[in-house]
Chain A
C-alpha cells in the first residue's frame, strides 16, 4: 500500500507546475502560518492548504496530514497547558507535580498552545500537499545544477527507500504465509534480512553507477541526442509549465498580503493575561484573502471556441470562403 503522502502523478495545475512554483506557493502559506498568531489568519492559511490539496486531488494526503497534525497539536496543547503557568483564567488546579510544582491549567495557556498546534497543523497539511503533488524527480533535476552529488544521493535514497519498504512487506507476507502454526518471526531477523538485501542492492547500484561513468570528475547529464553534456537553456525552458506564473503570482500575493496585514495590525491576538482575538476588518480581510489563495490549483474549464472544431458533414466552417 502506498503512503498517502507519496507523490502520485495526476493531471492538474499543481502537479504540472515546476517545483519552484509549487514551493513558492505552498511555502507562502507556511510562511503565513509562522508569521501570524491570529487564529483567524491561521485558519485562513489552513483552509487554503486544505483547499489546494483537494483541488490537486490530494485528498488522501490532506486527510492523513490533518490526522497526523492533530496528533502533534494535541500534545503541544497539553504540554503548554501544564508548563505555562501564566494566564488569568484558571480552569483546573492539578495540585503539586514533581519538577513542575503547582500546576494550574489556564484558558490562556490552552489558547496559546492551540495556536502553536494550529501552526504545526497548517505546516503539516501544506507539506503533505507538496509531497503528494510535486514530483521528487523534478525537484532533484532542478537541484542537480546546484549540487550534483547531493542530488544523485537524494535520487538514490528516494528510489531505494520505497524498494526496501516493498522488500519488508514481501518478507512479512512470506512469514505470514508459513501458516498459523509457524513460530512468529521477530523484528530483528526481519531487519537483518532486510539490511542484507539492501547492502546487496547497494553494491549492484554502485557497480552500475561506476559503469555509467558516475565516478568521473564531473557528473554528466544525458541529452536527448545521446551525448553527455549539461542541458541547454532551451531544454530547461521546455520544462517550465504554463501554470508557473499562476503559482508564483499567488505565492507573492499571499506574502504581500501577509506583510501588509502585519503592518496594518491584522495579527491581533494575545493569549496573556487574558485571551484577546482581534476581529478587525484588516484581520478578517487577510484571513479571507489567504483562504482564497487555496483556489490557485483550480483547473479552469476549457474556453468555448468561437469556431467549431468539427462541423456537420457537408457544412462549411464559419468564416470559410462562401459561408
Chain B
C-alpha cells in the first residue's frame, strides 16, 4: 500500500516536472541563429556564421561559447574576451556588448534564451561616450521580420513629409518579407521617414537631439537658419564632421521599454531619399547607424578626427 502510494507520488512529481518544462538533455531543436562578432562598432569583422542545431536550452552565451574562444568574468556572466580580443580600460574603456535582432539586451548573455532565427551581434567598442545603445540598424531586416525578445511586433511606417522615400521604405521592407501595418498600431516597431524638421517632434526621435547618451545614435542635427545640418560624432561623442546639405541618416533608438524606432531622415528631402535607399543588408550590415553623403554610406560613429 505504502509502496503504491510512493510510486503514485513519484509519478505525479515527474508529470509536474514535465509540465513545468523540465526534462533531460538540451531539449528540442529550435533551428538556427546568425552569429556575428565585430570590433569597433562593426568596423572590423571577426566572425560571421550561421549556427545550426540550436536547442531550446541554449542561450546567447552558450552559442557564443560553442563557436568562439571566449573568457568570462564574474562567475561566467560577463564576456571578457572573444578570440583573444579582451575588454580593456586603456585609451577609453572598451567592452563586449551584444545585440539580439538589433536591440540591446536587458539581461545578460547567459540569461538570454534563444528561440531560433535570432541575429546575435557581439561588438567590442569604446563606451566612453555612452554604455547604452538601445538599438542598432546592423541586423537588418531584424527586428522587423520576427520581432525581438521572443515576441513579434507589428511594423508601422510613419511618413512625415518623406514623399517618395516612404514608398522606397515600404518597398524595401516588403522585399525583406515584412508587411507594414496600416496606420500606427500600439506597440509597433516604427519607421519614421521624413526630414528632421518634421521628425524631431516625435519623443523617441527627439532623443537624438538630446545627445548620444540619451539616444545611442552617434549623430546630431544642428539648427542652421531655418534648417538643420547633420553632424557625425566620433566614439567619444564629439562632433567631428559636418555633412553636406544633402546628407541622410538611418539610425535606430528606443525610448524606455517601448519597441525600437528607426529614423530614415536627412536635413532635406534629398537626404531622406538617399537614406531610404540604404535600407538593405548591404548598406546596413554590422552598422550601428549610417549617414549617407553624395551617395556614399558612412558608418557611424566616425573615426576619431573624422
- A binding-site residues for B, Cβ under 8 Å: 84-96, 101-102, 104, 272-274
Contact = CB atoms under 8 A, between A and B. Distances in A.
A87 B59 CA distance: 10
B57 A96 contact: no
26 contacts: A84-B75, A85-B111, A86-B61, A86-B72, A86-B76, A88-B62, A90-B55, A90-B57, A91-B24, A91-B25, A92-B22, A92-B25, A93-B21, A93-B23, A93-B25, A93-B27, A94-B17, A95-B20, A95-B21, A95-B22, A96-B20, A96-B21, A101-B111, A104-B57, A273-B62, A274-B65
Given A92-B25, A95-B17, 17 more contacts: A85-B59, A85-B110, A88-B65, A88-B66, A90-B26, A92-B22, A92-B23, A93-B25, A94-B17, A94-B22, A96-B20, A104-B57, A272-B76, A273-B62, A273-B65, A273-B66, A274-B65
B70 interface: yes
A302 B27 CA distance: 65
B245 interface: no
A93 B23 CA distance: 5
Query: Which of A91, A95, A104, A273 lies at the interface centre, i.e. has the most chain B CB atoms within 10 A of its CB?
Result: A273
A273 B61 CA distance: 9
Nearest to B66: A88
Rank and list the top 3 A-B pairs by shortest CB-CB distance, nearest first.
A273-B65, A95-B20, A86-B76
Interface in B75-107: 75-76
Nearest to A84: B76
A98 to B, nearest CB: 12
- Sort chain B's interface into a size bin: 20 to 34
Contacts, number: 57
Interface of B: 17, 20-27, 55-57, 59, 61-62, 65-66, 70, 72, 75-76, 110-111, 113
Contacts of B113: 102
Nearest to A94: B22
Contacts of B25: 90-93
B111 A90 contact: no
Contacts of B111: 85, 101-102
Nearest to A101: B111
Nearest to B75: A84
Nearest to B56: A93
A101 B70 CA distance: 24
A271 B20 CA distance: 28
Contacts of A90: 25-27, 55, 57
B57 A273 contact: no
Contacts of B76: 84-86, 272
A86 B110 contact: yes
Contacts of B55: 90
Contacts of B110: 85-86
A90 to B, nearest CB: 4
B56 to A, nearest CB: 8
